[in-house]
Structure formats: structure tokens, C-alpha cells
């Protein structure tokens, strides 16, 4: 079942969020930048690999507005998100070096003299010297705020056909001019600030990336109608607002059964999975990392700038966000009771923090933190609790009552189809910072989820309840088999980890242990044999409807292997996300991979 290197996963998917790296050797070569792999890359995980259509759009913009041989561009959905990149680039400007960085905003043409509002803009582009691409890439990867490939596809067609042009906001200087002058809303670490978006409503529900106001352009037709007629797709973009509402209700727990969109919109069952929770407490973002980045920025806007705490070994970009934006963070990579003792000692001695960021359970070790003790410390010493529940998912666990914000990647099991990115942040209506966060969201929140992406998220998530139940049961069968194998060194799964009691305290009555686990072996050779022989799709990401495997430490920490190992994340760790395949068939495939390990051992 050897897949082609560099092809989309799943195959034949235009906007796939994973890419085929089918052997251990191919993964190493990818990290080393070897041409025999890099030259075959048709796509990749969107925050690490810029989709070809996005690259085409960036080149077209530089050709028209920049110097193609000297400059490149990075694309964002709004002036505010572009401003984050601009500020990051400027903060790393070499002393005394000329550094021509600028932002150009794009929107539909308008025959009136008045310029557009920020809500009408479809695209903001940061143009910068090519040699600083590694710096700009950090913003793209860590913040998750870059544009999606579907938005890029739409904008590229519009630009080439003359229906996307440079726009200057009425009554405002260009974004670059404002940033160069350093107004407070773009200075330093106040990077979430920007032009307020009214009451935080979903501004582009009816138009892909534009306002629902229906401003009149082109022969008097409404903007939404014009866009739909000119660039209509097989899914009506006029339904985007309804799709967003359905997704937010589904996340809130108001909708927990498979429902058609019409049923979802008609349902008015009120409160969600905890008393007082409604869809108005759910905020959508273009990626899961964007939800984490913006949760951190919102907390700094609401509470002031302080260090944060990263508790437990996290997904790599969470730690990078806390380190690179804001005053920094205190990192407890083991997430142990001893770490909590140290934290409590610091708090008793007067140290103060903005928030603790943790995962429940962690990725890739699937360890659950002591969330009750963290909550107790937070209440006593006045800091917020932010939990990433992507791996656990809210059907298996309910951590919201012990948090202030719950973030999640909707790209994963909520969608399942591996063809769309998305993220969410849910505010706890009983949290001590709820009112302050709601007020801050009303001023600062932008809904940058592209209309077509919202449509795919809604459609994909209709059956997520039944999918999760099947995945839970299949994963328990597979992990039980691996746990009993003498060739396996350790299975990392909430059911078998020493932190199981901490997980059980938050497991829903009908919830399971999730579809993600990691496994290690007694040698690197054994890990390579297992991974190469395992007949499943192989690439980054998790929570897919098909089983997906990757040598996680290689992909996530190749430049910091020794550091990762110091926290128990071994080089030979293989991570598996279980899908919807027949359980007995999958067990047979895993047995064949174990047989390959036995041959290596012999």
C-alpha cells in the first residue's frame, strides 16, 4: 500500500490538509530538504506548506505591486492579521538595514468615491524582501492566521479578471502608513488590536470573506449577488452565515445528533453542554492555532500583558506562540505534580501570570494534566485557564466548567474529511473573566473563516457524533493488542497512561478515550520497520476519517530532538490517528506491522 510521495492525503483532494510521506526515509528527507522528496510535494499541512494556489496568488501580487526578483508576499484575510505579521517582521529588522515592508489591502472594485470599510476587504498582503521569508514563515506557521487555499483560489480568479483591486480604506491611511507611525493598536505585543469590528458579529456571513451589508457595485447589483454570480461554486456561498450558525451550535452542544442544515437552523433547544452556554459563546477561526493565538491575544487585551504558563508537553506551535508574542512563558514540559508544586511555590512568593495553557490530553504523549489543581491555583492567584481539547474532543470529555476558554482544531475529528481547516474558542459562561472576555471580543474579534470553508466544516461535521463513537471503540481494540505485544515498548493512550484517573475525572458518561495514540519500540530499527510496514495512509494531521500515521517526533521536533527527548518524546515515537475502517481489518494491518518488528528483532 505504498503511496506516492508528496501527493494529497486523502488522494485526489484539491484542498487536502495532509500529504503523503509514506516511509521513515521520506520523512527524514523532507526535514532535510532533499530534492527527491521536496520536488514531489504537491501539497502539505497548510501551516507548514503554502498551498500552490496561494503561492500563485502571492507571485501575481508581487508581479503587479512589487519587485519579483527581490520581494515576496505573504497573504492574510484582514488588515489586522497582516498587521501582526508586519509587526513581527519589523521587530526583527536588522539594525541599520533598509527593510521595505508594506501592506496592500484588496477588495472588489467600487465606482463610488468613498473607499471601503475594513469588513469589505477580501485580502491583505504583506510584501517584504525575499531573504526574510524564514521570519514571515514563523508568523504563518505559529499564528495560523494565513489565508486558506479556497480563499486564494477565489481571489486569484478575481484578481486576474479585474474584480479584485487595491483598496484604500475611506478616511484612513494605508495599513503600512499606520503601522509605520506606530499607533497603539499595532504597537509591540498589542497585535490583536485593530479597527474594531462593531459588536463582534460574523461580518462576512453572506459573502466569501466580505461584509453581509450588500453594498451596491457593478450595475447596481448587491455585492453578495455579484460575487455569487461571478464566482459561484457548487455550494452556495449565500448559505455561509447559516453554516457558521450550525457549526457554532454544534460546538456548543445544542446540536448533538446528525442533522441536516435546515434542521440545525430550526432547532432552538437553548442551552448547550453546560448551563448557560449558547452559540454566542463560540467563536470561529480559520485554524486551530489561530484560536490559540487569538485566545492569548484576547487575554492580554482583557487583563494586561503578563507571562503565561505552558503546562505539559504541548503541540509545538502553542509553546512558540507564548514565547514569541507577549512577555514570554514559564514552561513545565513534564506536566507533573512536582511541576505543580514548583508553580505553587512561585505563586506563593508573589509571581503573577496571565494564564495557563494546557492540552487535555496532551499531544503526542496523551497525558492528562491535573486540571482541578490548576483551576484551584488559578482561582486563588488570579490567572486564566485555557485548555486545548482537540485530542479529547467534547463528546469524550467535558473540561469547560474548569476553564475560562476551551480551544479546539475543527480541522481534526470535528471535520474528519481532511479537506478544510478551522478552529474554535468557547468561553465558559461561568468563568471569572467571562464578562471581561465577552466585552473584549465585542471590540477585537474578527471572523476570518472563509465562507466556503465554513460550508465544508458544516457539511463534514453533521455525522461527527457517530464517527467519534466508532473511532473510540476501534482504537481501544488496537491499543489493547499493542499493549499485549512484547515488541512494543510503550503505548501512550489515556486508558493506559498513569494519568488515567485525571482523565476519568472529566470523561463524559458515554465518552471514550479518543482516536489518537502513540507507540514506541525497543529500537529505532523496530520503529522504522513498524512504520514502513503499517498499511495505512501516512502524513501529518490527526482526527481523520481514515487511519493516519506519522513519525511524530521527526516531523514536529526534527531540529530539537534532544530537547524533545528530555520530556519523554522519543525519536522513535510513532503516532497513529484511528479512522472509520473495519476494526478487524485494522487489527490485521497492525499485526503485520508487528510481524515486521519481530523480524527485525530476530
Q: What is the pLDDT of residue 95?
A: 74
DSSP 493: -
- Alpha carbon distance 421, 409 (integer Å): 8
* Across 365-379, average pLDDT: 98
123-155 pLDDT, tens digit each = 999 999 999 999 999 999 999 999 999 999 999
Q: Give the span between the Cα atoms of 472 and 493, in whole angstroms.
A: 11
- The pLDDT score that the predictor gives to residue 253 is 84
H or E, element range at 305:
none
- How distant, in Å, are the alpha carbons of 132, 136, 160, 175, 182 from that of 90? 11, 10, 31, 14, 11
Strands (E), 108-161: 123-129
pLDDT above 90: percentage of residues in the chain:
77
Q: What is the mean pLDDT of the chain?
A: 87
User: Angle CA(535)–CA(540)–CA(541) in degrees, nearest 5?
Assistant: 105
| Residue 262 reports pLDDT greater than 50 | no
Q: Over 50: is that where the pLDDT of 527 sits?
A: yes
Strand pairing partners for 332?
A: 311
Region 394-403 average pLDDT: 95
Please state, in angstroms and as integers, the Cα–Cα distance from residue 405 to each residue in 358, 399, 431, 456, following that order.
11, 10, 8, 25
Cell triple for 531: 512504520
pLDDT of residue 167: 86
CA atoms within 13 A on the CB side of 528: 10
Question: What pLDDT is stored for residue 119 in this prediction?
Answer: 59
Q: What CATH number does the domain located at 464-601 have?
A: 3.90.1150.10
Residue that wins the pLDDT comparison between 221 and 511: 511
Q: Which tops the pLDDT comparison, 328 or 174?
A: 328
The helix or strand, by DSSP H or E, that contains position 143, with its residue range, turns out to be: helix 133-143
Q: What is the pLDDT of residue 213?
A: 28
pLDDT at 450: 95
Question: Strand locations in 349-388, DSSP E?
Answer: 355-359, 384-388
- Give the angle 390-476-424 at the CA atoms, nearest 5°: 10
Output the nine-digit C-alpha cell for 110. Answer: 467600487
Q: Going by CATH, does the domain composed of 238-461 fall within 3.20.20.10?
A: no
Positions of CATH 3.40.640.10 in the chain: 238-461
Cβ–Cβ < 8 Å for 560, 37: no
CB atoms within 10 A of CB 344: 15
Contact 533, 596 (CB under 8 A): yes
Please state whether the predicted TM-score (pTM) of the whole model is above 0.75: yes
What is the pLDDT confidence band of residue 239, given thresholds at 50, 70 and 90? confident
For the chain, what's the residue count? 602
Q: Residue 115: pLDDT above 60?
A: no
Tell me how crowded residue 212 is: count the other CB atoms within 10 A of its CB: 18
Closest CA to 284 of 261, 333, 250: 250
Domain with CATH 3.90.1150.10 in the chain: 464-601
Beta-ladder partners of 102: 127
What mean pLDDT comes out for the span 502-529? 97
**Helix, strand, coil percentages for the chain (3-state, nearest 5):** 45, 15, 45
Please tell me the predicted confidence (pLDDT) of residue 118.
58
Amino acid at each position: 500500500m505504498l503511496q506516492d510521495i508528496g501527493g494529497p492525503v486523502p488522494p485526489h483532494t484539491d484542498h487536502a490538509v495532509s500529504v503523503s510521506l509514506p516511509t521513515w526515509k521520506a520523512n527524514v528527507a523532507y526535514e532535510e530538504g532533499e530534492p527527491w522528496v521536496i520536488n514531489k510535494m504537491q501539497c502539505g499541512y497548510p501551516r507548514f506548506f503554502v498551498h500552490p494556489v496561494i503561492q500563485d496568488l502571492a507571485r501575481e501580487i508581487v508581479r503587479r505591486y512589487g519587485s519579483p526578483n527581490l520581494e515576496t508576499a505573504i497573504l492574510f484575510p484582514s488588515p489586522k492579521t497582516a498587521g501582526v505579521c508586519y509587526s513581527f517582521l519589523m521587530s526583527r529588522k536588522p539594525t541599520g538595514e533598509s527593510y521595505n515592508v508594506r501592506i496592500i489591502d484588496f477588495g472588489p472594485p467600487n465606482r463610488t468615491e468613498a473607499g471601503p470599510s475594513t469588513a469589505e476587504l477580501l485580502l491583505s498582503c504583506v510584501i517584504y524582501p525575499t531573504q526574510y521569508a524564514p521570519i514571515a514563515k514563523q508568523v504563518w506557521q505559529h499564528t495560523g492566521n494565513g489565508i486558506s487555499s479556497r480563499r486564494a483560489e477565489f481571489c486569484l480568479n478575481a484578481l486576474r479578471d479585474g474584480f479584485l483591486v487595491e483598496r484604500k480604506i475611506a478616511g484612513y491611511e494605508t495599513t503600512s502608513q499606520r503601522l509605520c507611525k506606530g499607533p497603539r493598536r499595532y504597537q509591540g505585543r498589542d497585535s490583536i488590536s485593530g479597527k474594531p469590528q462593531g459588536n463582534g458579529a460574523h461580518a462576512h456571513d453572506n459573502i466569501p470573506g466580505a461584509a453581509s451589508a450588500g453594498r451596491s457595485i457593478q450595475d447596481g447589483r448587491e455585492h453578495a449577488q455579484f460575487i455569487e454570480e461571478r464566482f459561484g461554486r457548487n455550494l452556495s456561498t449565500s448559505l455561509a452565515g447559516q453554516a457558521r450558525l450550525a457549526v457554532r451550535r454544534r460546538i456548543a452542544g445544542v446540536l448533538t445528533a446528525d442533522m441536516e442544515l435546515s434542521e440545525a437552523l430550526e432547532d432552538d433547544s437553548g442551552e448547550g453542554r453546560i448551563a448557560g452556554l449558547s452559540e454566542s459563546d463560540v467563536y470561529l477561526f480559520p485554524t486551530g492555532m489561530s484560536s490559540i493565538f487569538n485566545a492569548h491575544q484576547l487575554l492580554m487585551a482583557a487583563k494586561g500583558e503578563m507571562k503565561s504558563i505552558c503546562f505539559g508537553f504541548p503541540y509545538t506551535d502553542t509553546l512558540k506562540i507564548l514565547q514569541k508574542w507577549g512577555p514570554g512563558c514559564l514552561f513545565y514540559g513534564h506536566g507533573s505534580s512536582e511541576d505543580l508544586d514548583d508553580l505553587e511555590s512561585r505563586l506563593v512568593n508573589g509571581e503573577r501570570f496571565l494564564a495557563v495553557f494546557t492540552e487535555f490530553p496532551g499531544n503526542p504523549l496523551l497525558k492528562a494534566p491535573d486540571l482541578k489543581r490548576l483551576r484551584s491555583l488559578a482561582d486563588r492567584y488570579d490567572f486564566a485557564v485555557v485548555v486545548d481539547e482537540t485530542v479529547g474532543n467534547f463528546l469524550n470529555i467535558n473540561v469547560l466548567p474548569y476553564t475560562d476558554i476551551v480551544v479546539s482544531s475543527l480541522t481534526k475529528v470535528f471535520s474528519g474529511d481532511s479537506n478544510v481547516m478551522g478552529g474554535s474558542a468557547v468561553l465558559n459562561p461561568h468563568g471569572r473573566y467571562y464578562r471581561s472576555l465577552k466585552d473584549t471580543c465585542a471590540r477585537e474579534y474578527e471572523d476570518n473563516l472563509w465562507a466556503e470553508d465554513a460550508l465544508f466544516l458544516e457539511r463534514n461535521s453533521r455525522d461527527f457524533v457517530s464517527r467519534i463513537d466508532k473511532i473510540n471503540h476501534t482504537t481501544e481494540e488496537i491499543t489493547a493488542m499493542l499493549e499485549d505485544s512484547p515488541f512494543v515498548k510503550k503505548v501512550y493512550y489515556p486508558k493506559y497512561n498513569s494519568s488515567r484517573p485525571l482523565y476519568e475525572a472529566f470523561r463524559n458518561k458515554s465518552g471514550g478515550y479518543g482516536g489518537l495514540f502513540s507507540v514506541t519500540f525497543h529500537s529505532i530499527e523496530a520503529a522504522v520497520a513498524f512504520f514502513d510496514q503499517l498499511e495505512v495512509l501516512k502524513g501529518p494531521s490527526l482526527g481523520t476519517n481514515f487511519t493516519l500515521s506519522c513519525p511524530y517526533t521527526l516531523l514536529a521536533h526534527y531540529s530539537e530532538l534532544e530537547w524533545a527527548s528530555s520530556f519523554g518524546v522519543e525519536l522513535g515515537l510513532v503516532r497513529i490517528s484511528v479512522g472509520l475502517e473495519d476494526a478487524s481489518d485494522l487489527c490485521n494491518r497492525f499485526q503485520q506491522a508487528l510481524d515486521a518488528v519481530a523480524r527485525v528483532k530476530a
